Amino acid sequence: MQNKVVIITGASSGIGKALAVKYINEGWNVVIAARREDRLLELQKKLGPDNVLPVKTDVTKPEDCRILINKAIEKFGQIDVLINNAGISMRALFNNTEMEVMHQLMNVNYWGTVNCTKYALPHLLKQKGSLVGVISVGGYVGLPGRAGYSASKFAVRGFLETLRIENLKTGLHVLIAAPGFTASEIRKSALTANGNKQGETPRNENKMMSAEECAHHIYRAVEKRKRQLILTFLEGKFTVFLSKIMPRFLDKLNYNMFASEPDSPFK
């Protein structure tokens, strides 16, 4: 794998950072992208300057994404895997949410994936490589209090499924990865109704899957060229299964679960 190259967006923390560590440990060349350049440089220093390229990137800006891809090619000459991991969440009822928040969720989660994919795709096709989108169970089931988040993740899933079909004859591999609740910064930085960051997570992250375990599963799914990866049983696979056979019952379960959270927007 010494000549393989992966680009990971949202690599400054959480699943993205864990993916960078995993790929370096497996002998890959890694391009890490995020808005927080200081964290990228710190991660590069930890992992090694020769095989890690940090690129400050705002995925909502197409030009930033074009520069990201070009720098990866200039440094390593090819792109074998693109992992669209950059994302933000929210926690507020839609009725109370400012429209700017809805647009921000879609800009980062959906358009960020589209922007990076657009410029990386010719290089991925050349390598018959892998295109990965990190969504969540919220991309299969509407999550109450997360209307903008679920909508953006549904959109990413639809986008990637379409690209998979368009490229049935090209050798492109497309993976849609849906982690369950994973310990990361995403809940702390989740947007409230007015666009401020939530700050504190309403959930006990000690009981969640670690970012490192999640990264391991994604790495293996790419290696095996899987179509889909849904992680955790109860909050992942079983939830998606229930949505197909008992959707009304699942609606009630989801409402009750999210309404019972500390400081729930339903109260």
Three-state SS annotation for 131-194: EEEECCHHHCCCCCCEHHHHHHHHHHHHHHHHHHHHCCCCCCEEEEEECCCECCCCCCCCECCC
β-pairing verdict for 52-56 and 173-178: unpaired
- The amino acid at 186: I
> Residues 7, 19: contact at Cβ < 8 Å?
no
Q: Which two tokens stand for residue 70?
A: 């070009």
Q: Which two tokens stand for residue 97?
A: 């949410």
Q: What's the rounded Cα separation, in Å, for the pair 50 and 54?
A: 11
> Residues 86, 112: contact at Cβ < 8 Å?
yes
Q: What is the mean pLDDT of each run of 10 residues along the chain (267 residues)?
A: 88 96 96 97 92 97 98 97 96 96 98 98 98 96 95 98 98 95 69 83 69 95 97 87 94 90 82
Locate the domains of the chain by residue range.
5-259
CA distances from 57 to 23, 31, 35 (A): 20, 11, 5
> Residues 135, 186: contact at Cβ < 8 Å?
no
The most distant pair of C-alpha atoms in the chain lies apart, rounded to whole Å, by 54
Q: Distance from CA of residue 78 to its chain's centroid?
A: 22
* pTM higher than the cut 0.85: yes
| Helix, strand or coil, per DSSP, at residue 24 | helix
The CATH number of the domain covering residues in 5-259: 3.40.50.720
Q: Which two tokens stand for residue 21?
A: 């560590």
Q: Which two tokens stand for residue 100?
A: 């700017």
Whether the CA torsion 47, 48, 52, 58 is positive or negative: it is positive
Residues with a catalytic annotation lie at: 149
> Residues 139, 178: contact at Cβ < 8 Å?
yes
What pLDDT, on a 0 to 100 scale, did the predictor assign at position 1? Answer: 47
What pLDDT, on a 0 to 100 scale, did the predictor assign at position 265? Answer: 86
Q: What's the rounded Cα separation, in Å, for the pair 76 and 259?
A: 48
What pLDDT, on a 0 to 100 scale, did the predictor assign at position 183? Answer: 67
